[in-house]
């Protein structure tokens, strides 16, 4: 897991005006709420007074949880603005200036595609990786389904790698892979991997054999059947893109913004775009089909072991069809080199004992005196190395 990227926090529709919501991302709790202008704000959830949870459940009393654009700690009522600075400490009297250390991390926010995203890291604006741009989002020729959140019990990198894997369709997906493989002719076609146009990941396009879509729902889809072009790519460690060309210019573009909760849990915020069957009446059937396909992947990925991908290629036997997976890992290695990888073993060793951790925010580069410890990060040299040369040489086989 990495700091310094944009992560989905909560769906816009799930963040109301009166109540803060808690989300666990990269192993730590965050709180999201709306300020007086209705803008979403995201802060570290740990109150620096005595560890209250700003987004925690609080059914007692009738005091409001958001006052003058501040989130109110349910324990002793300290009020924190969207900038993370404490504005009021009731025990010393409202309106009296809190000490300078009474501040918590506040993260840059963008609300797009029906999702509240936060930049979880401390880079100044000019140096930040971008949030993925869905170029066709406002294009009237395209239609977006409402955001679907898939909650899965596995590590986010396993999930991303599954999306970059052209060899699993025939085995996992009766919906769009030929289940009865022709042993005489079958193999995964060769493909090239390039950089993704938005600069923070990889991309590949691949042709595979697929049965024609069946049923009344798909009668307008004009799927030619037999062959399907699909492309997949990445943007940062946690965003995956899939483009499915079903023929005659008809496309799905699918965006998976993944929220790593911890090592064993991921929430996938899924935006599905299409440029055919754009009647809103088709949203339901398309949702239903996507859920069925996702469930096929989930069943297999639930059992993959170990939870995290190994850091050495001696622990796996990688084939040419794993080329896109390795290209993704090469990008992760670049993020390792920047020193953005969380030292998860050190984090889990100390987290939740007498230490609370926070993802460092940009303000930490401008001022000192932060109460909550920053996430431990791996020095770049300690991180994983991956290279396309990890793939087995099958030329002699």
Min dist. Cβ of residue 11 to Fe ion (A): 23
Could you tell me the end-to-end alpha-carbon distance of the chain, in angstroms, rounded to an integer? Answer: 36
Min dist. Cβ of residue 173 to Fe ion (A): 6
Min dist. Cβ of residue 53 to ligand FES (A): 8
User: What does 199 bind: ligand FES, Fe ion, none (CB cut-off 5 to 8 Å by kind)?
Assistant: none
Alpha-carbon gap, residue 336 to 320, rounded angstroms: 24
Q: Which is nearer to ligand FES, 78 or 269 (CB)?
A: 78
User: What does 364 bind: ligand FES, Fe ion, none (CB cut-off 5 to 8 Å by kind)?
Assistant: none
Alpha-carbon gap, residue 268 to 290, rounded angstroms: 13
Do strands 373-374 and 357-358 pair parallel, antiparallel, or not at all (unpaired)?
A: parallel
Min dist. Cβ of residue 289 to Fe ion (A): 13
Contact segment (CB under 5 A) with Fe ion among 129-137, 291-299, 332-340, 375-383 equals 291-299
User: What does 75 bind: Fe ion, ligand FES, none (CB cut-off 5 to 8 Å by kind)?
Assistant: ligand FES
Can you tell me whether residue 88 is helix, strand or coil? strand
**Rounded to a whole number, what is the largest CA-CA distance in the chain?**
81
Angstrom CA distances, 64 to 20, 116, 269, stand at 10, 23, 30
Structure-token pair, residue 72: 């109110």
Q: Which is nearer to ligand FES, 75 or 229 (CB)?
A: 75
Min dist. Cβ of residue 133 to ligand FES (A): 38
Residues at the site binding ligand FES, with contacts judged by CB under 6 A: 47, 49-52, 73, 75-76, 78
User: What does 105 bind: Fe ion, ligand FES, none (CB cut-off 5 to 8 Å by kind)?
Assistant: none
Structure-token pair, residue 381: 């040299």
Task: Name the nearest CA neighbour of 105 among 363, 368, 375.
Answer: 363
Q: Which is nearer to ligand FES, 91 or 185 (CB)?
A: 91
* Helix 323-337, helix 156-163: angle, nearest 10: 140
Alpha-carbon gap, residue 86 to 92, rounded angstroms: 13
Min dist. Cβ of residue 25 to ligand FES (A): 21
User: What does 178 bind: ligand FES, Fe ion, none (CB cut-off 5 to 8 Å by kind)?
Assistant: none
Q: Which is nearer to ligand FES, 86 or 120 (CB)?
A: 86
Choosing from 157, 297, 322, 336, the residue that interacts with Fe ion (CB under 5 A) is: 297
Q: Does 336 interact with Fe ion (rule: CB under 5 A)? A: no
Min dist. Cβ of residue 294 to Fe ion (A): 8
Residues in the chain: 397
CA–chain centroid gap for 358, Å, is 18
Strands across the sheet with 79-80, in order?
66-67, 70-72, 79-80, 86-88
Angstrom CA distances, 134 to 112, 201, 255, 267, 331, stand at 10, 15, 8, 20, 21
Q: Which is nearer to Fe ion, 45 or 297 (CB)?
A: 297
User: What does 119 bind: Fe ion, ligand FES, none (CB cut-off 5 to 8 Å by kind)?
Assistant: none
User: What does 297 bind: Fe ion, ligand FES, none (CB cut-off 5 to 8 Å by kind)?
Assistant: Fe ion
Residue 193 CA neighbour count, 13 Å, CB half: 22
- Applying CB under 5 A, the site for Fe ion has a residue count of 1
User: What does 261 bind: Fe ion, ligand FES, none (CB cut-off 5 to 8 Å by kind)?
Assistant: none
What are the residues binding Fe ion (CB under 5 A)? 297
């Amino acid at each position: 897991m990495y700091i310094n990227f944009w992560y989905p926090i909560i769906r816009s529709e799930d963040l109301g005006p009166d109540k803060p919501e808690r989300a666990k991302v990269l192993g730590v709790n965050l709180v999201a709420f709306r300020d007086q202008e209705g803008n979403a704000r995201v802060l570290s959830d740990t109150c620096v007074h005595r560890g209250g949870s700003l987004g925690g459940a609080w059914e007692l009393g009738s005091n409001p949880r958001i006052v003058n654009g501040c989130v109110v700690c349910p324990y002793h009522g300290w009020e924190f603005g969207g900038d993370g600075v404490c504005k009021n400490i009731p025990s010393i009297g409202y309106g009296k200036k809190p000490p300078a250390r009474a501040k918590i991390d506040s993260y840059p926010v963008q609300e797009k595609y029906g999702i509240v995203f936060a930049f979880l890291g401390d880079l100044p604006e000019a140096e930040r990786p971008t949030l993925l741009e869905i170029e066709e989002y406002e294009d009237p020729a395209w239609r977006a389904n409402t955001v679907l959140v898939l909650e899965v019990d596995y590590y986010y990198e396993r999930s991303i790698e599954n999306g970059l894997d052209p060899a699993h369709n025939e085995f996992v997906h009766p919906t769009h892979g030929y289940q009865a493989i022709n042993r005489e002719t079958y193999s995964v076609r060769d493909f090239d991997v390039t950089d993704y146009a938005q600069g923070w990941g990889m991309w590949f396009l691949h042709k595979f054999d697929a049965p024609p879509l069946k049923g009344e729902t798909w009668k307008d889809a004009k799927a030619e059947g037999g062959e399907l072009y699909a492309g997949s790519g990445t943007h940062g460690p946690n965003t995956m893109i899939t483009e499915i060309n079903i023929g005659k210019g008809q496309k799905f573009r699918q965006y998976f913004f993944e929220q790593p909760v911890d090592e064993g849990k991921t929430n996938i915020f899924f935006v599905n775009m299409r440029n055919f069957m754009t009647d809103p009446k088709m949203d339901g059937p398309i949702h239903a089909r996507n859920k069925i396909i996702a469930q096929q992947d989930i069943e297999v990925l639930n059992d993959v072991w170990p939870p995290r991908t190994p850091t050495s290629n001696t622990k796996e036997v990688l084939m040419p069809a794993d080329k896109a997976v390795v290209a993704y890992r090469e990008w992760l290695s670049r993020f390792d080199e920047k020193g953005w990888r969380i030292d998860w073993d050190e984090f889990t060793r100390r987290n939740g004992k007498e230490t609370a951790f926070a993802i460092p925010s940009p303000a930490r580069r401008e001022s000192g005196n932060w109460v909550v410890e920053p996430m431990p990060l791996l020095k770049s040299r300690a991180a994983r190395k991956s290279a396309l040369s990890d793939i087995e040489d099958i030329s002699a086989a």
